[in-house]
Each structure stands twice: as structure tokens, then as C-alpha cells.
A and B are shown apart, each in its own frame.
Chain A
């Protein structure tokens, strides 16, 4: 006949083992998700850091006055200047195919670079200039070591030429300013994120201008004025549901209403901003209501007690105290809007747009859509640029979320 303490003692070891197992399982869950996070960042940094540098080739270009006839400098054959400079560097190259291979080392953007130089300063016509021009993306990839030499992207001759340039120190990696300064391009070595960044900026500006006042007004009304009736219940249910509607459905709304019914332009930051404003509105409303609720009743009572009207109490006392909380919610909503892609695909923001947008109705891409477009491109060099653009986007998001945290820390008040 055993006492119950013995029964307990007998099972105790097993139970403690189970306890430890359970605890380790919980820790493992957290560790696993953090490993995923680390993996994600590591893989993106690993793939993207290369895009910060771009291989350039130094050419000695002769701005031949016979090619650059004064009549039409815009349409002159600048690519011939580039080719002539290359042929001069490798005089042994002959034959059409070989010559074509040789000129293939340099990006087609080199011609535009020369054109801009000539249009900027006509005095250089007739002179020799040492110029660094971007290399073609395959040369870039192989020179950086991102592609194997025997990948077949470059011919044996081309590899030999690159080696020769390397020994002459006429090829080197330079900081990739084009990536941060230009718009999209079919050529990876010329493609940049500035156009998409501008598009994102204009889109977010529209979103902010609409969603913040509307969200705050709605929150103030619902929290401070609305009578408790079925109408306000309906509004609340709507807001909660909108917060959970898939973002792509907002895109369908934008397509059907803003584009087809109102006839607004496709691919425009204006429409993108409108759609994203409707999408972020619930986030801002919910955050603003929480901020209003956190203002203690004593503040309200004091204001009313000295004779303020309800509106004065809210505008002069409650709103300023709730504003940091509302701003925090707004920044987080904006960060979500900045990363949102799916609804923008619906309203035609996936077009290939080279020009930098200058206004709210210019066709534009936004950063996440640019990432999506580049991720679809087959060129190896675009993988690097996609990852780099992702890094830029993540930096923006981290900055925004960091600002929200700082704001919260700075203005958080314990009543």
C-alpha cells in the first residue's frame, strides 16, 4: 500500500522532464522565427550589397567633329564614338562579329552619357577625353564574381578583353550613383530606384493628406460625439471589417471606381494614394481612438469645469494630448502603405516607366512595385538590384517604425 506522496514522487521526474521539454519548445519557436528573420535579412543583404557598386570601363573618347555635326547634336551617332574608342583600345580586333562583341562590353547607356556631356559643354567637341562609362551587365556580373566566368554569358574573346582591361587598370568597380539617381531601365546597369522613390513619395503624400485628417476626424466623432445608436454601430462594424479586408480588394475598388467610373489616369500616384488612403484609414482610426481613450477624464472634467464647451475641450485639451498617439498610428499606417503592392498592381502601377515623375498625375511606379517588376526580370544583374531596392525599402520602413517608437517613447505619458 503506497502513500500518495510516493505516487507523486514516482511521476515527478517524468513531469519535470515534460516541463523542460515544453519550455524548450517555446524557446525553440521564438528562436526559429528569429532565425527566419535573420535568414531573410542575411539573404537580402548578401544578394543586394553588390548593387552598390557598378563596374565601369575607362575609355579614351575622341569627340569627332565629323560625327558630331553641329546641326543636330541630339540625334548624333554617339554610340559610334564609343565603338571607335573601343576599337582604338583593341586595334587587333577585326571582323564584324568580333567588333560587335567588343562593343558589347560597354553599356548602351554610354552613348547617352556622351550625349549629355556634349550637350552640357560643346567645347569638348574635337578633343580627347578619358571617361568612365558603365560596363554591360554581364561584364559587371562576371567582374564582380556574381556569375562564373564559364557561364557562357561572355565569349572567350570578351573575357580576354576584360582581363586585358583589368591589367591596364581600365576597368574598376565604382559607387553605383546611377542606381540612386535614375529611373527604371531595361538595362540593369542603367536601372535605378529614384523614379520609384519619387513615385512612392507622391503616393504617400496623397495618402497622408487624405487619411490623416479623415482618420482623426472619424476617431474624434466616434469617440467624443457619436450617440450610441445603430448608425454608429454600423460605422464601427464597417471600420473593423475594412481593417481585415484583403488589400487586393481595395485595388479592385480603385480599378472599378477611380479608373473606370471617375476616369482618373492610370498608373498615377494620385489614384494609388487614394486607394492606399482608404486602406490605411482603419489603422489610423483605430490608433486615434485608442489615443483619445487614453486621455484621462480629469483633463476633460477640468476643461468643462472652467466653462469650455465640448468642442473647446476637445480641440484645446484632448486633441493636443492625444496627437502623439495619433501620429504614431499614422506613421505605422504609412509604413504599411509604403510596403503595399497588391492594390497598386490593380490600378496599373506596374507599367514600365523610365521617366522620373514630377507630379501627382504623372505615370509612376512605387518602390515595392519596382521590386516586384525587377524580381520578374530574367537578367542575373536584376537579382542584385532587386535585393538592393529591397534593402532601401526596408531601411525606409525601419526608419519610419523607429520614428514611431521614438515618438511613442518621447510623448508617452503615464497619467
Chain B
């Protein structure tokens, strides 16, 4: 059976052969191993050049083929299906295609489906084989062609090293564009589904609506669930939890950073700093488990002892644990900023007779403030985007409240609950997750850009 994997292996074998052929050829044009000084480059470069020209075009074409073949085959199979099947809606048609693919993969015994689909599957399988065969023929001949072309052009004056280096340079440059493609991919994918959502729900209703209940009625006569997609309550919950987290993380993180950089001795730092960093390395799902299992019942218990009505999924529990998670983030950023303040400022203040705490409070902190603010903004964006803690410890219903003992929901929780489980990609319920994702992306992006600008500007001040 000719699969893409075997084609790739064949190409790799050819490439290895191409390397040897290139080396041999260069030696033979030079006239033996003793005379390689007449070559422009050392023999391995001729080998690598041959190998690159053998492998790269072939692999590129193969990748393109793989990306396009599926669509073409589906189209051809569709054209051969009975007319009543071709008339199906796109969603139903994709089910038919799924059936066909399941039969081909052997996941479903053929006698489970209608004869029309069986013949279609047979057709699909045949086309797939033809496609594989054609791909193998085209790609392998391309590889051999590349090999032969370079081999024919090898002569003593061929600047093989320069060619190889140029090719590698292009490869490196291509790799560096992945970051851009990722960003484009994120923006386009989220935007595309979000725009589909905004066709069903107007943008303004989404941004300024005060009610969030994404359950849609399946039948028209069902009660109470018409679906409301106002993002304000969800955002309010996000802000509440993030605010609690920052109320925990900023004072503790900042004071920890001040102590570390201004007071702590070398030994203390050597022990305490890595320990603090462990907090940053703990997976968020572990924090979520901790919040749901330990912190939430604890807070609930205290609340009951004080006669307060505390929800078991209180915003306080989620926010508190999220704050703990962010402490090392705030403290390491503040540490950097405090260390960037020039020693001369401290010496000046101390020389005037200020105590150390006065120096810190009145000289160092004001000088470092812009940088610290930038760091805090980065921390806020992290708190807003944090998912697992709130998924496990915060609630699902959107409440507009400032009461930290109540359950609130967040943007990330809603994305997860809307997308985990059964999805239909034509209901606003699923698409709403992408609209929320767009919102999340936009907010965190904005915060990050501002924060990075502030930090960079501040750093330049003292450099």
C-alpha cells in the first residue's frame, strides 16, 4: 500500500543517495581525493546541495498535494453520488462523507450502510489510490530530476557552499515566519467564526447586552431558553475575579520583590527565590484542584461560621488561588524593575540620612513605578486569560455582582463550557465561544501592547 509515509521515506532514502552521489561526483570532477583543492567548495557541500535540491521541491509538492487531494477527491465522489444525496445540505453531506471515510478506515463494517454509500466508498478508495500513485510518481520523479540536474551541473567552479548557505538562510527565514502565520491564523480563525456569530447576534447586543444565557431552545415551544448573548455580565465576573487576584498578588508580590532585592542576604535569596519560582511552575490545573478542593470549602466554612451566605463556587476562592499563582509573576517583574533603578539614586537618599524603607518608599519605588505598572498590566492580562482555575473553581451562571462570596463566571469558563462536548458549527451557542475568544484576544493584546510599551520606555530611561 502506497501511503504518504512511504513516499516520504522514499524521498529521504533518495536524499541520502543524492548526498553520496553529489560527493562522489565532485570528487570525480576534481580527479580524485588528492586533488580536491581544485574544487571551489569541500565535497560535502556538493553532496548537501544535491540532497537539498532532491528533497526540498519534492517534499513541498507532496505537502501541497496532501493539502489539496482530499478536497478534490471529495468533489469527484460527490459528483458521482446519486442526485438525491447531492441535494443534501452541507451539514448532512458532511455526515455522508464521514460514513464513507469510516468505511475506508474500517471503523464501520460495510454492511451497516446503504449500497449507494458503499459504492461511493469504493469509488473514494479507488480515487485515493490513484491519488497516492500519482503523487508518488510526480514527487519521486521531481526528486530524481532535482538530483540529476544538480549532479549534471557539478564542476570545479560550482560555488556549492555559497548555494547551500543561501538555501539554508532561506529555510531559516521561512521558519521565522511561523510566528506571523500563527498570529494570522489566530486572528482569522477567531474572527471568521465570530463574524458568523455576529450575523445571528448584533455586535452591539453582544458587547453591551446585560444578560448571558447561551442555552438556545431546540424546539420553538420550549420554555425560557431563547438564548441571550450579552457579554457584560461575563466580563464583570472576569473583572471581579481578576481584581481579587490582583489584590492578593500585587501587594504580596511587590513586597516580596522589595525584600528580595533590598533586604535579603545572599543565602536567603538563594533559597527563597527558587522556591518562589516553583509557584510559577505549578500547572494551573493543579491550582484549580487546590482551589476547588481546599480553598473553596475552607472559605465557605469560614463564611458559615460568620453567618455569611457563601457560594461553594465563590469568586473569592478562585480569585485568591489565581492571586497565588500570579505572585511569582509580579514579584519577578518587579524585581527586574527595582534592580534597574540605578544605585546612585539609593546612595543619594541614604546619604541624606533616609532610612532604607524611606529610600525604598520615596525614591526607589517612584522611580520604578512605571515599570511596575507595566508588569502589573501584564499580570492582569494573564489573570484575565487564565482558564483552568476558574473552570474548576468558579461558577457557570453569569451574575452581575460585586459580592466576592457569590458565584460568578468568566470569559474563559464560558468558552470552555460552550466548546466542550457536542458542537454544531451553525448554532450561535458554539459560535459565541469564538466571539468571546475574539474579545479575550483583543483585551489581552491591548493590555500587553500597553504594558510592553510602558516597560520599554521605562527601561530606556536608565540605560
A residues with CB within 8 A of B? 8, 15-16, 18-19, 21-23, 25-30, 32-34, 36-37, 39-40, 43-44, 47, 213-214, 217-218, 220-222, 225-226, 234-235, 238-242, 244-250, 252-253, 255-257, 260-263, 278, 281-282, 285, 309-311, 335-336, 338-342, 345-346, 350, 368-369, 371-372, 375-376, 383, 386-387, 390, 393-394, 397, 401
Contacts and interface: CB of A to CB of B under 8 A. Distances in A.
B386 A246 contact: yes
B276 A34 contact: yes
5 contacts: A30-B255, A242-B182, A247-B385, A248-B416, A253-B182
Interface of B: 67, 70, 161-162, 164-165, 168-169, 171-173, 175-180, 182-183, 185-186, 189-190, 192-193, 251-256, 258-260, 262-263, 272, 275-276, 278-279, 281-290, 292-294, 324, 327-328, 331, 353, 355-358, 360-361, 378, 381-382, 384-388, 391-392, 412, 415-416, 419-420, 425, 433-434, 437, 440-441, 444-445, 448-449, 452
Nearest to A282: B179
Given A30-B255, A34-B272, A342-B284, 17 more contacts: A25-B255, A30-B272, A33-B327, A40-B290, A217-B172, A218-B176, A225-B173, A245-B441, A247-B387, A250-B186, A252-B437, A253-B189, A310-B165, A311-B169, A339-B286, A376-B392, A393-B283
Task: Classify the secondary structure of B's interface with A.
Answer: helix
Given A240-B452, A241-B183, A248-B385, A19 B279 contact: no
> Sorted from nearest, which 8 A-B pairs have the closest CB atoms?
A246-B385, A339-B283, A26-B259, A256-B189, A29-B255, A217-B175, A22-B357, A342-B387
Contact of B275 (A37, A257, A285): A37
A245 B444 contact: yes
Contacts of B331: 33
B412 A342 contact: yes
Nearest to B452: A240
B259 A30 contact: yes
B392 A375 contact: yes
A281 B179 contact: yes
Contacts, number: 257
A376 to B, nearest CB: 8
Contacts of B258: 26
B384 A246 contact: yes
A213 B391 CA distance: 34
Given A217-B172, A247-B387, A335-B281, A238 B434 contact: no
Nearest to A23: B263
B355 A44 contact: no
B150 to A, nearest CB: 19
Nearest to B97: A263
Contacts of A341: 283-285, 387-388
A249 B256 contact: no
Nearest to B168: A311
A242 B420 CA distance: 24
Contacts of B360: 22
B97 to A, nearest CB: 10
Contacts of B253: 29
B412 A248 contact: yes
Contacts of A345: 391, 416, 419-420
Given A346-B419, A375-B292, A221 B172 contact: yes
Contact of B283 (A19, A23, A245, A368): A368
A252 B186 contact: yes
B285 A371 contact: yes
Contacts of A27: 259, 263
B179 A350 contact: no
B262 to A, nearest CB: 8
B416 to A, nearest CB: 6
A28 B189 CA distance: 46
B357 to A, nearest CB: 4
Contacts of B419: 252, 255, 345-346
Contacts of A387: 289, 293
B189 A248 contact: no
A30 B269 CA distance: 11
Contacts of A28: 255
A339 B284 contact: yes
Interface centre among A247, A248, A281, by most chain B C-beta atoms within 10 angstroms, is: A248
B204 to A, nearest CB: 23
B186 A245 contact: yes
Given A225-B173, A252-B415, A8 B353 contact: yes
